[in-house]
Amino acid sequence: MLLALLQANAVPLDMAGNLAVIDAAASDAAAAGADLLLTPELFVPGYDPERIHAEFEPGQLPRLRHELADIARNHGIALVYSLPRVDGARLSISATLVDAAGAELLDYGKVHLFGDAERAAFVGATEAPGVVQFKDLFLSIVICYDVEFPETVRAAGVRGADVVLVPTALAHGFDEVPQVLVRARALENHVALAYANHCGVESSVAFGGGSVIVGADGGFLATAGPDATLLYAQLDAETIRSTRKDVPYLSERRPELYAEWARH
């Protein structure tokens, strides 16, 4: 599978403009032969929790989802996009995988919210990461801060994921996340991991870019600097799964002990 990753700058609450950026990226990625395009966290509305909470109209979600499915269908490429999602009386942050025909394969709600602004605007989801087969790989999704918790990516790994896709909105100054933690999550769970960030400034938040695609051995397959770009990496099921032979972290876990340890 050839994976494409979009790193770009969104304009808060300019849904039409941000959709146009995704559409152009999908066109370029499809022309390059990519099977799937991963986009950043909340790229469609832009990353501004306070304005989303105050101004975003949930009634437009069906239309936005339809337009994103059309982008996938028109360019013949699978797409991971991120939108607010209605959870009870509040919004959560979600990411959705649709296939090249625009059919929804997987939806995930962000479990770990980062900072006061996110916690004021959104509610944390509670569902475990799902896993779905796409071509010859099993894919899962977590969102941004989720990847910084070992339990979240481990949940995807023990459910059989080969690849974990991570839309993110990481502010400037946290380079250790893509440079250290993302590599550790990939290595310890035998998964390839793609981490798609914003760049530039959105409202008052400066993003550092620095998106990465990491192999299941923890090595970088593609890295971005601070500017808008498309990254590409070929992900191979046999290569990913071969990392589970020499140091089989997942199969040698002892979860019955960990459950007991957690009670103390």
Conformational region of residue 130, where left means phi above 0, alpha means psi within -120 to 50, and beta covers everything else: beta
**What is the token pair recorded at 32?**
């390059």
Label residues 39-50 b or e (16+ Cβ within 10 Å = b).
bbbbbbbbbbbe
Conformational region of residue 65, where left means phi above 0, alpha means psi within -120 to 50, and beta covers everything else: alpha
Q: What percent of the chain has pLDDT over 90?
A: 95
For residues 232 and 30, the answer to whether their CB atoms sit within 8 Å is no
Q: Give the model confidence (pLDDT) of 90-148 as tens digits.
A: 999 999 999 999 999 999 999 999 999 999 999 999 999 999 999 999 999 999 999 99
Q: Which domain holds residue 178?
A: 2-261
Summarize the confidence of residues 7-13 as an average pLDDT: 98
Whose CA is closest to 107, among 192, 48, 160, 167?
A: 167
Residue 88, pLDDT score: 87
At 263, is the pLDDT very low, low, confident or very high (cuts 50, 70, 90)? Answer: confident
- Please, which residues bridge with residue 198 across strands? 8
The answer on pLDDT for 22 being more than 80 is: yes
The three-class DSSP label of residue 46 is coil
Tokens 């105050």 belong to: 54
- For the chain, the average pLDDT equals 97
- Please, which residues bridge with residue 199 across strands? 208
Residue 101, pLDDT score: 98
The answer on pLDDT for 182 being more than 70 is: yes
Helix (H) or strand (E) holding 132: strand 131-134
Residue 259, pLDDT score: 87
35: domain CATH number?
3.60.110.10
pTM, two decimal places: 0.97
Whose CA is closest to 208, among 7, 3, 4?
A: 7
Summarize the confidence of residues 26-46 as an average pLDDT: 98
Summarize the confidence of residues 207-211 as an average pLDDT: 96
The answer on pLDDT for 35 being more than 80 is: yes
| Euclidean distance between CA atoms 145 and 168, whole angstroms | 8
Residue 262, pLDDT score: 85
At 264, is the pLDDT very low, low, confident or very high (cuts 50, 70, 90)? Answer: low
Summarize the confidence of residues 3-15 as an average pLDDT: 98
Summarize the confidence of residues 235-245 as an average pLDDT: 96
The answer on pLDDT for 222 being more than 70 is: yes
- Other C-beta atoms lying within 10 Å of the C-beta of residue 104: 12
Tally the domains of the chain. 1
Summarize the confidence of residues 216-238 as an average pLDDT: 98
| Euclidean distance between CA atoms 66 and 9, whole angstroms | 22
Give the orientation angle of helix 150-158 with respect to helix 182-189, to 10 degrees: 30
| Euclidean distance between CA atoms 236 and 215, whole angstroms | 10
The answer on pLDDT for 169 being more than 80 is: yes
Whose CA is closest to 192, among 168, 220, 169?
A: 220
Q: What percent of the chain has pLDDT over 70?
A: 100
Q: Which residues are catalytic?
A: 41, 110, 144
Q: What is the DSSP letter of 142?
A: -
**What is the token pair recorded at 225?**
């600097």
